[in-house]
Amino acid sequence: MTTAHDMQEIEKANASGRTPVVFIHGLWLLPSSWDRWAEVFEEAGYTALTPGWPDDPETVAEANAHPEVFANKSIGDVADHYTDVIGKLDRKPALVGHSFGGLLTQILAGRGLSTASVAIDPAPFRGVLPLPFSALRAASAVLGNPANLHRAVPLTYEQFRFAFANAVSEEEAKQLYETYAVPAPGEPLFQAATANLNPWTEAKVDTENPARGPLLIISGEKDHTVPWAIANASYKRQSGNENVTEIVEIPGRGHALTIDSGWREVAQTALTFLQRFV
């Protein structure tokens, strides 16, 4: 269901006549994690949209007070929700996604729904084989308990520090945790973890569709959750597409690279890529 917030952004985008850029967040974050990015892209002449996943609360406080609203959201549910949002736009958008948002970006691009896309530290899809230890440890907060499949799971500060904020100071890590961290549905992590065992998985990407458009994958050098091995394997799967496919590694950065104090460098990398094509 398209929310009032989403409809407001869609109407604004359609009235602007500008190229829309749709930002897609991942697990344990909300759309507000893109607010500073949206300003940068608006200043560059785009119209920015930050639609949430279905039932996303407006604020971190509300999200932490009502974690149950995040439960039982599958990758397919969320991809279809964004397909619905994009379908209401007058112009085909560019897409920028982080983590599971990076996987969703590639799913949507594979459906031919974007002019150009940027997937930042994207979660793996079927056919991406590497499983580094740090990625398993980062996901263990959810995968360690099969009952989490149908639950919303918060991260403790220690789990967040390892999975997101390992490349920043303790002080900044605590500030990021308090400002941004919310519970997340367990189901998408189970889907990604079993994608290579399940031919019918929703964690799959049409990497060959000629309507996919140009794609950039951005990898944080120190990312524990989606290390280079996973990002590069995604790139290799995508590079058979007839469109431009590129990958870039940002030195010294962890999984929090879209929200930490160095976010602007990553935003500029994404913006520069999109400006070549859109």
SS3 169: coil
| CA atoms of 188 and 237, how far apart (whole Å) | 20
Q: How many domains does one find in the chain?
A: 1
End-to-end CA distance of the chain: 28
Q: What is the pLDDT of residue 1?
A: 75
CA angle (188, 192, 193) in 5-degree steps = 115
| Structural domain that includes position 32 | 4-277
157 Cβ contact list (under 8 Å, min separation 6): 173, 174, 177
- Please tell me what DSSP assigns to residue 233: H
Sign of dihedral through CA atoms 106, 77, 203, 183? positive
Token pair belonging to 88: 């209401």
CATH number at residue 11: 3.40.50.1820
Q: What is the pLDDT of residue 4?
A: 87
| CA atoms of 223 and 112, how far apart (whole Å) | 29
Exposure of 178 in the CB half-sphere (CA atoms within 13 A): 6
Distance of CA 88 to the CA centre of its chain: 21
Q: What is the pLDDT of residue 137?
A: 95
E-assigned strands of 146-187?
152-153, 184-185
Query: Using one digit for the tens of pLDDT, what is the confidence trace for 229-268?
Result: 999 999 999 999 999 999 999 999 999 999 999 999 999 9
pLDDT values of the chain reduced to their tens digit, one per residue, 278 residues: 788 889 999 999 999 999 999 999 999 999 999 999 999 999 999 999 999 999 999 999 999 999 999 999 999 999 999 999 999 999 999 999 999 999 999 999 999 999 999 999 999 999 999 989 999 999 999 999 999 999 999 999 999 999 999 999 999 999 999 999 999 999 999 999 999 999 999 999 999 999 999 999 999 999 999 999 999 999 999 999 999 999 999 999 999 999 999 999 999 999 999 999 99
Q: What is the pLDDT of residue 207?
A: 98
Q: What is the pLDDT of residue 267?
A: 98
**Whether pTM exceeds 0.95:** yes
| CA atoms of 256 and 276, how far apart (whole Å) | 26
Cβ atoms of residues 120 and 26 within 8 Å: no
Distance of CA 271 to the CA centre of its chain: 16
